[in-house]
A and B are shown apart, each in its own frame.
Chain A
């Protein structure tokens, strides 16, 4: 990631979001209690590259997308677009910001207005961002071009349709076209395929990849499916309980995971190669635990209560990022200089 440092479009540093907790509850009796949804996240998105953010539900990955899109105000840290720190709260400056940074939502059934046609959705996005042209003909060309980009052709056939007349995959393509209408530099895709049928997921992912190449977009791909991150993303970041725990080139992270959490995640993924019951027993380590409460996160490394390699130090000191190889880092004390690699690493 060092060589591309110069081309970073959108960067975040020390990104933090705490949601205040209101009301009474056993854990929240003290004042000022907060859900530590995102803590100290640093990432940078580069032109023509896909960065995957992988984590379980509740790990804070969607909050990161919303912070980057400036839909929520951050508690701390900086978001830099082309090196300039930006904080916007709506209005004209927000509009200018989202011209560059567009968000695609998970659920194409909810993100399109059911009472409006495809034409309306796209025209509005084009007008708002000033790309509708001067004449009706230019607008028509812009619409045809957009639908062509997401491979909904012939365009006339789709423009008059309402969202309920489209399949899930087609709807998500319309949502992508709407995001492209702003001619963005950054696309934040929050679980863009998890609501779609398995057979059409890849079509949408491949489309996103082609668009990224044609338009040299910087893409943040948020997902819980680490296998699809391997397939689709150049770089993969793994998030656990609000913090980034590992990052690096996708192939390296998925094939030789360094952080114990990433290993747990990868070992837990369904593996058709393990057919039959012969190998089941060994997987059957019973209580693998659950993610911690984010109101009172564990001190030190947040993974230490579940970690098989936890040491004294892990319970008190927060591990910084350690280089594992040129292509990979992990926030884990196991990789502190000189520490031998743990047993079981392949």
Chain B
């Protein structure tokens, strides 16, 4: 697990420039290891999608990467900073190395083209030397990978159900055997039954092709089940990062604890749940100190004044909270 495929260092993303800029992602350090499923959880506005778009250079203006670096380590090659790639290099990097399945991806298929055309088009654009018959074979293989009968290649998107379209998108993302697959809320629009089918399919494919997944969602219970490690974002920063099992059994940050306590459990004893009081912070007017302190039930003296650094409490776990900081840590 020591093998990092993507390393974010001190990444910051703003919307707008100058005085009025909104700092959507601030000083994020995050490592994605080869072959792991890393869950990125947080509420809307916490910056999780912005982080994913920032690191893949897909931000639309007024979004700007304000600082930091994104190091990509291809197997056996020198690490490259994605943020410094030229347009031509970027074009080769995208899809072949990193593929993204967008939020509501099932609406990203072109309604006027057959699935076959759209799948082969991806291969043709990135590998122009391939022969048409070869491309069609690969498209067939992709369809069977995601569990859709091959004759559906001749269908138009509207002839497929939402779940099938979403699986086509996953198949398309895997077309060029990327090292990293970013999934931005891939199953939010789907029913629980389909959600489970798609995710277990993805886990199986990952075991076969050994790609790393960055899985972005607000559904922590889903992440706890499907990911190896979870990073929790709040107000543009990562507040906790732990192996899933540890995070679920013993969350360190009060926000993580609050989030876990916000999901009614389907199994086990019924418990009284409270959610988290207050509402998520306004990115334009962030509270001083720890951004969570106005909602935190355990806030104490330093929380309102100084921002806790993200520090390791054990080799695999990081948390940004004064409760877990060593007392002599000073800014």
- Chain A residues within CB distance 8 Å of chain B: 56-57, 167-170, 197-203, 206, 224-228, 230-232, 251, 254-255, 264-266, 268-277, 280, 283-284, 286-288, 290-291
Contacts and interface: CB of A to CB of B under 8 A. Distances in A.
| Size category of the binding interface on chain B | 35 or more
**Chief secondary structure at chain A's binding surface:** helix
Contacts, number: 121
B276 interface: yes
Contacts of A276: 244-245
Given A199-B259, A270-B219, A56 B273 contact: no
B259 A251 contact: no
B200 A200 contact: no
B266 A227 contact: yes
Contacts of B222: 270
Contact of A197 (B43, B267, B274): B43
B203 A277 contact: yes
Interface in B22-71: 43-44
A57 to B, nearest CB: 6
Given A272-B224, A275-B245, A199 B275 contact: yes
Contact of A264 (B193, B262, B267, B268): B193
Contacts of B279: 167-170, 197, 200
Contact of B275 (A202, A255, A266, A273): A202
Contacts of A200: 275-276, 279
A268 B218 contact: no
| B197, B218, B259 — most chain A CB neighbours (10 Å) | B197
Interface string B246-277: 00100000000011001111111010011111
A194 B225 CA distance: 21
B265 A206 contact: no
| A201, A225, A269, A274 — most chain B CB neighbours (10 Å) | A269
A202 B258 CA distance: 11
| B224, B259, B274, B277 — most chain A CB neighbours (10 Å) | B224
Contact of B266 (A169, A203, A230, A288): A230
Contacts of A286: 147, 197, 201
| A167, A225, A275, A286 — most chain B CB neighbours (10 Å) | A275
Given A231-B273, A275-B225, A275-B248, A284 B263 contact: no
B280 interface: yes
